A and B are shown apart, each in its own frame.
Chain A
């Protein structure tokens, strides 16, 4: 049977609309969220929700390569390797949540994930059986959607307060500027949410900018929470947003903070971290006295904690995924000032299985009301799966690159390796809201720059090292810059400066001394002018109307034999 494109799209749309049949709750186990309470101290953890107030699809990566000590260990396991390591049955709801496997079919079966109204219901349910529990937010909550950009994060500030967040640290929050963050912390959060960052100081005299830690009593047990903001915010994002602050990883100061909290009587010490999981694993091996690092930044949905031995004993390291897709629950049994046992569960937030919380739904409706027309504008329809996450180009990035090259008349294009950005199924409309989910930042300018072939290679080497430097403290945690036009080989058995080879453009070798027109967006330098990326891409989408499946420009990988971070 052959179908023309229109029939095919109609069929997909019908499949999507017939969610009732496909998404019914019967596909889930009836006791999915029955998590028996354990112990006397419970910490709920969400991270990197990237301002996704509404349920979404989010495809986990099929390429998430670990190098050095990270090879073939969580979080660098994808697909079947991950299922096997954590004993998750193939085809199950959990397999859908934790992997990319059979994504389109699984998404139509199990439906969307996340959404703050659904998350709120789950938080309430878990907290009801765990009196005194705390809700920790690892940051990247105020950025990633149209409404958060247009309200300077206010929608998320209000939603997180309503959700009942107790403690928070940050990263993308700082891209609204130091003053904005300070204003929220000193006003909206005052007396409600502790915003902590042990590793942010003033650049002049090294004075603290935020509280380093807080001690909360949970059922009579003093629990210290230490905040660790993203250490490379002024490197990965524009430094002019926080000109007077310095970040970084400071082991001596972290150790001091842990010791101080213990001296003040903390029976449990937890770090709420935005380091990224590889850096957290390294830190856990070098600092004494931390019971658990609840981590984010690298968007790794890791079902169970990694246990790291260190001179002080051991430390649990978790990472709780992204986009509102997961809620981590760490239950501790604390007896006589010591942890006698723990339970950890990373719960996927299946939107179809959780009735939306009425109060949160009302807030979300109110936030969106002024923007509904703009958000719902249909720009085009996609025939293929559109996603971003993965070490190299995703299909949505490819679409952005294609739009940049065509619109700007460029030889090639770069698009940042962000790990946020939601997923669209074949047959779905691409709305303005979806486009903003991929592009909503405070420095959205597009640029066209004349670069030599040598500069192109230097940039690719530099960014790749942020991902694959064998020292986790020298990684920044994004994915590889997405590349359009230029093809290359990527040899991960090599060190800095030798990994990128065979650079080609239109079948010809890229010449080191020749200049090329390279389009891009998200400049970190101050004062750059250029049309916002969403205007460039929305015009392209309106013009094309139907987006055919993208051909991914992936590098040829060398030196990755036996790596379980590749499907």
Chain B
């Protein structure tokens, strides 16, 4: 990546850039309709249900990229792409966080359903990405290990 583009993205903030391009729904992004029940739910199942992702079926058409072992549990990079037609929203969950729902994004204006962000993880557990598409719910899971570190080599 060239230095100018790097500087621009750093200055503008990638999320702001996406918002100004009209690709992410600002209402969801700015949480004007904050779903308190979903974000305060204490279990993965409750959070899925409250966020409207209940009865999600596993799908190989969602690609989830997470580290096998987190380099820092406080900022774990997660990246997801949905290849399911008519994807309208995507949410990240961390199974063993005190509140498993981490983020919920709505796509508008035909935005490509690709997201990369960082999430905080309390301990080793399943990271789940759930997708709403064509009136149905889908999901995929991967385990991320969170370790104390040290001792290697």
Residue of A204, A237, A417, A474 touching B68 (CB-CB under 8 A): A474
Cα-based distance from A477 to B9 in the complex (angstroms) = 37
Which of the listed residues B1, B70, B124, B147 has the most CB atoms from chain A within 10 Å of its own CB?
A: B147
> What is the chain B residue whose CB lies nearest that of A520?
B150
Tell me whether B110 is interfacial, beta carbon within 8 Å: no
- How far, in Å, is A520 (CB) from chain B's closest CB? 9
CB pair A522–B124 under 8 Å, yes or no, is: no
Give 1 or 0 for each of B54-84: 1 = CB within 8 Å of chain A CB: 0000000000010111111000010000000
Cα-based distance from A474 to B144 in the complex (angstroms) = 9
CB pair B69–A205 under 8 Å, yes or no, is: no
Per DSSP, are chain A's interface residues mostly helix, strand or loop, or mixed?
loop
Give the chain A neighbours of B1 by CB distance below 8 A. 205, 207
Tell me whether B151 is interfacial, beta carbon within 8 Å: yes
Please judge, given known A-B contacts A236-B150, A474-B68, A496-B124, whether A246 and B6 are in contact too, CB under 8 Å: no
> What is the chain A residue whose CB lies nearest that of B148?
A462
Give the chain B neighbours of A171 by CB distance below 8 A. 153
> What is the chain B residue whose CB lies nearest that of A233?
B152
CB pair B9–A524 under 8 Å, yes or no, is: no
Give the chain A neighbours of B153 by CB distance below 8 A. 140, 171-172, 230, 236-237, 297, 416, 418-420, 477-478
CB pair B145–A469 under 8 Å, yes or no, is: yes
Cα-based distance from A463 to B153 in the complex (angstroms) = 12
Give 1 or 0 for each of A194-238: 1 = CB within 8 Å of chain B CB: 000000000011010000000000000000000000111011110
Give the chain A neighbours of B150 by CB distance below 8 A. 236-237, 416, 463, 522-524
> What is the chain A residue whose CB lies nearest that of B75?
A203
Q: How many residues of B contact A (CB 8 A)?
A: 21
Give the chain B neighbours of A469 by CB distance below 8 A. 145
Please judge, given known A-B contacts A246-B77, A418-B153, A522-B150, whether A474 and B145 are in contact too, CB under 8 Å: yes
Please judge, given known A-B contacts A205-B9, A466-B147, A469-B145, whether A236 and B72 are in contact too, CB under 8 Å: no
Give the contacts of A409-425 with B (CB-CB under 8 A): 416-420
Tell me whether A248 is interfacial, beta carbon within 8 Å: yes
Tell me whether A557 is interfacial, beta carbon within 8 Å: no
CB pair B67–A248 under 8 Å, yes or no, is: yes
Residues in A lying within 8 Å of B, measured CB to CB: 140, 171-172, 204-205, 207, 230-232, 234-237, 239, 246-249, 252, 297, 416-420, 458-459, 462-463, 465-466, 469, 471, 473-474, 476-478, 481, 496, 522-524
Q: List 28 A-B contacts (CB under 8 A).
A: A140-B153, A204-B10, A230-B152, A235-B71, A236-B151, A236-B153, A239-B72, A246-B71, A246-B77, A248-B67, A248-B68, A248-B69, A248-B71, A416-B151, A418-B151, A419-B153, A420-B153, A462-B148, A463-B148, A465-B147, A466-B152, A471-B68, A473-B68, A474-B68, A476-B147, A477-B152, A477-B153, A478-B151
